[in-house]
Amino acid sequence: MRLSPAAIFKDRARFKRKSATNEERFSRIHPSQRVLLLSHCLRSSKGCKAKIEPWGVDCVGCNPSCQVNRLKKTALDSGYKAVCVAPGGSLALKFVKENNPLGIVAVACRKELEEGMENVQKLIKKKSGPAPAIVIIPLTKDGCVDTEVNIEAAVSKISLGCESGINDCNERLCKNPALK
């Protein structure tokens, strides 16, 4: 279902409030301590060559214009620790538990994002250590297949802290010990 401009605006305002406070902290986290979570419904349903594995959707990069491919590539080129294309919230939470990141970017529908934030908060309460900074990016067209996100906005969030460009991100943050 494509959201109306009014609904998108309302959503953006609500999620912006939740996300904004985390973005400054997130931008200071080294890429090697960040992970990207993508909802599997962002992939192109026609001709997708990915297999569903126990750890999630195994994207083989068959389509250069596929949203999953583009966002995954952006994260890995920036030096992210890992990317999970999750078919559901429970697998995404398992991935977070296993990778224990300091920064998380999550792209999903509103419901999954809200549930995911709650579950990560519960997870943090159970373990010691700093809470991860979570940057959330809601879909602009939801549903369970061929959903859409604003790619430019998502790339920009994934690259937070990389003002000079994606390729410079890893190197610049690596040179600043305060950000490691």
Q: Write out the residues near ligand SF4 by the rule CB under 6 A.
A: 43-44, 48-50, 59-63, 66, 68-69
> Between 37 and 120, whose beta carbon lies closer to ligand SF4?
37
Find the shortest distance in angstroms from Cβ 156 to ligand SF4: 21
Find the shortest distance in angstroms from Cβ 137 to ligand SF4: 17
Nearest residue to 148 via CA among 77, 45, 57, 6: 45
**Per-position DSSP letters for 115-176, written without gaps between them:** HHHHHHHHHHHHS-SPPPEEEEEE-SB-SSSS-B--HHHHHHHHTTT-TT-HHHHHHHHHH-
Find the shortest distance in angstroms from Cβ 46 to ligand SF4: 8
First to last CA, the chain: 41
Find the shortest distance in angstroms from Cβ 130 to ligand SF4: 32
Place of tokens 């294309």: 85
Find the shortest distance in angstroms from Cβ 33 to ligand SF4: 25
> Between 49 and 180, whose beta carbon lies closer to ligand SF4?
49
> Between 68 and 109, whose beta carbon lies closer to ligand SF4?
68
Instruction: Classify residue 141 as exposed, middle or buried by CB count within 10 Å of its CB (0-12, 13-18, 19+).
Output: middle
Vertex 145 angle, CA 139 and 146, to 5°: 65
